[in-house]
Amino acid sequence: TANDIDSLRQKLIAGSEKVQQQIIPQLADLGNEGLDVLQEFLLKRRDTPATWIDGKAYKVVYNSDAPKAKEFLQTYFPEGIVPLKSDCGINYNSLHKLLVSSDFQAADLLTIQTMCEVAGPQAVQRKWLYFTEVENFPIQDLQTINHLWVVHSEGKFGFSVQREIWLGLGKNWENLWPKIGWKSGNKWTRYPHEFTWDLTAPRGHLPLSNQLRGVRVMSSLLKHPAWS
Ligand code: UYC
C-alpha cells in the first residue's frame, strides 16, 4: 500500500546503513513504486561520493526491465554512479558493466588487463606489472578502479578493503593470505577454480594479485599514495 511504501521510503532516507541495506531489496520487490523511491534516493545522494549502499540501489534500477528505469539511468547516470575519471584516457565503462552485473571473475581479469594498459605497452605484452609500474600508477585511475569495486561489491572487494585488513593485521602478509581466502594452511588457493567469484567470498578476496613473483606488487598497491 501507499503507506508501506512511504514507511520504507522514510527508512531508506533516514536509516542507518544496516537498515538501508535491508530496505533496498524490499523496495526492489515492490515494482514501479519501489523503483521510484530508489531512483529518488539515488538522485538525492548524487552530490556526494557513491557508497556501496548507492551501488546496491543502483543495481536494482539497472537490472529492472522497466522502460522508465532505463530512461532514468540514461538521463541521470549514463556512466553509472562512480565518476569514470582517468589520467590517461582509459574508458572504465566495461569494468563498470561487469561489476554491476556481478561478473566478478571477468571484472578481475579486466582489472589486471586494464592496469597493464595504464602501465604501458610493455606491461600489456608481459601481462603482469612490475612493482615500479605500480608505484608510478596514476592516483586518479587507481581510485576509479577501486571505487568501482567497492561500490559494486557491497563494500566487500577492492584494494582499499585489502589495505584496511592488512593494516589491521599489522601489515603481516602471512596473516593476510588466509584472512582473504588466498591461502589455507600452507596451501595457496589455485587460480581460477578455487577462488570464490561472488559475494559469499571473504572480505578483501578480490581483486587478485598473483603472488608467483613475490609480494612486492601487492605491497606497492597497498602503500600507494592513492589511499592517503
Ligand atoms: N594465484 O595462487 N598462478 C594467476 C593468484 C601464486 C600461478 C593469475 C592468487 C602461488 C601460476 C592470477 C593466489 C602460486 C599461474 C593469479 C594464487 C601461483 C598463475 C592469472 C593466492 C603457486 C599461471 C594472471 C596468493 C604456488 C601464470 C597472472 C603464470 C596465474 C592469482 C601460481 C590472477 C591471488 C604462489 C603458475 N594466479 N600463484 O598473473 O604466470 O598470470 O605462470 O600466487
Q: What is the pLDDT of residue 226?
A: 98
Residue 184 beta carbon below 6 angstroms from any ligand 1 atom? no
CA of 96 to the centre of ligand 1 (A): 24
Instruction: Look up the ipTM and state it.
Output: 0.95
C-alpha cell at 82: 562512480
Residue 193 beta carbon below 6 angstroms from any ligand 1 atom? no
CA of 40 to the centre of ligand 1 (A): 44
Q: What is the pLDDT of residue 171?
A: 98
Query: pLDDT tens digits for 166-214?
Result: 999 999 999 999 999 999 999 999 999 999 999 999 999 999 999 999 9
Residue 210 beta carbon below 6 angstroms from any ligand 1 atom? yes
Cis? peptide before 25, omega within 30° of 0: no
CA of 34 to the centre of ligand 1 (A): 44
Mean pLDDT of the chain: 98
Report DSSP letters for 79-105, one per residue.
Answer: T-SS----SS----HHHHHHHHTT-HH
Q: What is the pLDDT of residue 3?
A: 85
CA of 208 to the centre of ligand 1 (A): 9
Kindly report the protein residue whose alpha carbon is nearest to atom 9 of ligand 1. Answer: 210
Report DSSP letters for 62-76, one per residue.
Answer: HT---HHHHHHHHHH
Q: What is the pLDDT of residue 1?
A: 79
CA of 130 to the centre of ligand 1 (A): 15
- Is the pLDDT at 100 greater than 90, yes or no? yes
Residue 212 beta carbon below 6 angstroms from any ligand 1 atom? yes
**Full-model pTM:** 0.97
